[in-house]
Every structure is written in structure tokens, then in C-alpha cells.
């Protein structure tokens, strides 16, 4: 009777389990990590799960020199959309402590301003984030939060980002590179570099501006990236996309346990393709001349 529709046939499951699927996008990596898209998860189940564990989530950003101008919008929009209903610690790394606005936060949410040095070269400003994240993971984050979400500051939240993203180690598909052929990924191609990835390797191209995981995993990731950058520096090499290149190298041999779709890191300069049902975290347009000099 049930010869074709066996016990595990999809029609035997509850509608809410079956509806958590998308047929237009890749939903799982070949190593069985979920790729998080709108319509692929049940947020009520996940909220209950993480609430029960009473998790605290750390959100880290760097606002060095003129990038302090981005902090207000970043935090305001995070208050509205980031992990609402869960415990959140914002960690703002800056060299200009007095430029960071004092903001009123919802209950269960706190902000810590961490004073750090400002490197002269912008490439170093970007890359040294790895070293500082490593050091603070060990010294401070370990005792304060369960997960870290590490992002660029020139961004605003414009839709929900919740516990569906949490996993031991996660990366995000780069909005400009999803759908590109592997050989066109802008990995570092110099074999002398610690970030080198050959043309016939690599799964996805991950964005430098959005990764996370538990503290232990973020410690390992940032430690690897920083050490690789220092080894290259000794050889007078710098990878093509700085920290992003080293991050991609790390993820090649340490597969993320979850991958976030570009919903989680979008730039409206790319338009809004059909598969993109939500833009949860988008780049704030910036006047490069004014802000970077």
C-alpha cells in the first residue's frame, strides 16, 4: 500500500516541517551545514531553544578614526532588529572613546566601549581586527558571552537577525560573489601567501564583514588569521583582500557549521535579485574621500 510513499516520504511530516524549504536556492553545503535563507527555518522553535539555554550574544564592531560616525545608526538599528528578546552585549572597539554616543538600550542589552590603537594604514585598521578579537576573546568575551558576531560598522540592520544564525562557526556568502564561478572568486592566488587558495579549491567566497561562532572557535579563527597575516608581513606580502582573504583560507580547511545567505550582508548597489527575500543588514553608502582620509 505504502510502497512508494514510504515512512520517510515528505508527505508524512507535519506541514511546518515541510514548509521550511526553498527550491530556488542551495539550502545545505556538501558537508551538511545549513545555509540560512528566509523560509528555511522556524524562528519560534529556535527562539525557544536558545531562550532555554539563556544565551548571551556579543556583537563586535570596530569604529576607528572617522568610522565612529557609523556607530549611532548601527546600534539604533541593532536595537530594533538584532537578537530581539535575547541577551546582547555590544562591543565597540575604538580609538576615539569620547566620540561614541551614550545610548539607551533595551533591557538585557549592554554596550562596552573598548579602547584600542588606531593603525595608520587602513589595511592595517581592517586586518588588525583579527588580533584584537583574538586577544579580547581570550581575556574578556570568554567570561561574558556564548557567541560572537563580528561585523563591519558601515552597516545598518533593516530586518530581523536572530538566533537562526547561531552555530559553532559561521560565515556569510559575499553578496558580490554569490553565483560566481569558483575560478572567479577573488581568493588570494599568490602561492607564496598564507592565504593562497588554488583555482581548483574553495567552496564559497565568504565576506570579511560578517562571521561568528562560539568564543573558542572565534579564538581559533582570529588566531589563525592574525598569525597568517604576520607570516606574510615578514615575507613582505599582503593578501589581495586583506583579512577577508585569510578568512577564506581558514574556512576552506575549517568548514563552517552554518553559512549565512547574503540576506545577512547586502549592498543595495547590487540591486535586489529574486532569490533575495529579505535584506537584513545592508551597507550604508559612504563618501569614500571624506570618510577614509
173 binds ligand 2GW (CB under 6 A): no
Residue 176 in contact with residue 241, Cβ under 8 Å? no
CB of 49 to ligand 2GW, least distance (A): 29
Shortest approach of ligand 2GW to residue 31 CB, angstroms?
Answer: 24
By a kind-dependent CB cut-off of 5 to 8 A, residue 246 interacts, out of ligand 2GW, Mn ion, none, with none
Kindly tell me which residue out of 36, 57, 59, 63 binds ligand 2GW, with binding defined by CB under 6 A.
63
Grid coordinates representing 88? 546582547
Distance set, CA 185 to CA 238, 241, 245, 258 (Å): 17, 11, 11, 20
Residues in 230-249 at the binding interface with ligand 2GW, rule: CB under 6 A: 241-244
Strands 147-151 and 206-214: antiparallel
Query: Considering the complex, what minimum distance in angstroms separates the CB of residue 118 from Mn ion?
Result: 17
Calculate the CA 55 to chain-centre distance.
18
**Of 194, 244, 263, 290, catalytic:** 244
Binding mask 141-160 for Mn ion (x = CB under 5 A): -----------x-x------
Which of ligand 2GW, Mn ion, none lies near 243, with the C-beta cut-off 5 to 8 A by kind?
A: ligand 2GW
> Restricting to residues 196-225, which ones interact with ligand 2GW according to CB under 6 A?
207-209
Asked if 238 is an active-site residue, the reply is no
Question: 146 and 30 in contact (C-beta within 8 Å)?
Answer: no
Binding positions for Mn ion, rule: CB under 5 A: 152, 154
Q: Which residues are catalytic?
A: 244
Amino acid at each position: 500500500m505504502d510502497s512508494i510513499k514510504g515512512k520517510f516520504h515528505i508527505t508524512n511530516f507535519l506541514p511546518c516541517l515541510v514548509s521550511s524549504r526553498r527550491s530556488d536556492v542551495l539550502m545545505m553545503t556538501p558537508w551538511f551545514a545549513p545555509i540560512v535563507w528566509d523560509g528555511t527555518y522556524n524562528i519560534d522553535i529556535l527562539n525557544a531553544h536558545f531562550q532555554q539555554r539563556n544565551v548571551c550574544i556579543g556583537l563586535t564592531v570596530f569604529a576607528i578614526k572617522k568610522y565612529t560616525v557609523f556607530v549611532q545608526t548601527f546600534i539604533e538599528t541593532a536595537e530594533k532588529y538584532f537578537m530581539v528578546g535575547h541577551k546582547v552585549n555590544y562591543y565597540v572597539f575604538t580609538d576615539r572613546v569620547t566620540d561614541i554616543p551614550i545610548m539607551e538600550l533595551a533591557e538585557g542589552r549592554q554596550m562596552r566601549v573598548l579602547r584600542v590603537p588606531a593603525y595608520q594604514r587602513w589595511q592595517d585598521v581592517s586586518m588588525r581586527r583579527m588580533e584584537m578579537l583574538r586577544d579580547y576573546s581570550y581575556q574578556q568575551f570568554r567570561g561574558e558571552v556564548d557567541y560572537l558576531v563580528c561585523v563591519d560598522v558601515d552597516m545598518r540592520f533593516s530586518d530581523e537577525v536572530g538566533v537562526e544564525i547561531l552555530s559553532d562557526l559561521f560565515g556569510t556568502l559575499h553578496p558580490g560573489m554569490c553565483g560566481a564561478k569558483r575560478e572567479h572568486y577573488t581568493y588570494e592566488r599568490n602561492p607564496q601567501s598564507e592565504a593562497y587558495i588554488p583555482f581548483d579549491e574553495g567552496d564559497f567566497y565568504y565576506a570579511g564583514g560578517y562571521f561568528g561562532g562560539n568564543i573558542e572557535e572565534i579564538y581559533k579563527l582570529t588566531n589563525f588569521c592574525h598569525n597568517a597575516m604576520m607570516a606574510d608581513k615578514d615575507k613582505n606580502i599582503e593578501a589581495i583582500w586583506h583579512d577577508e582573504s585569510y578568512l577564506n583560507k581558514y574556512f576552506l580547511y575549517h568548514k563552517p557549521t552554518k553559512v549565512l545567505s547574503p540576506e545577512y550582508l547586502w549592498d543595495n548597489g547590487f540591486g535586489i535579485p529574486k532569490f533575495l527575500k529579505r535584506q537584513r543588514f545592508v551597507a550604508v553608502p559612504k563618501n569614500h574621500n571624506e570618510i577614509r582620509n
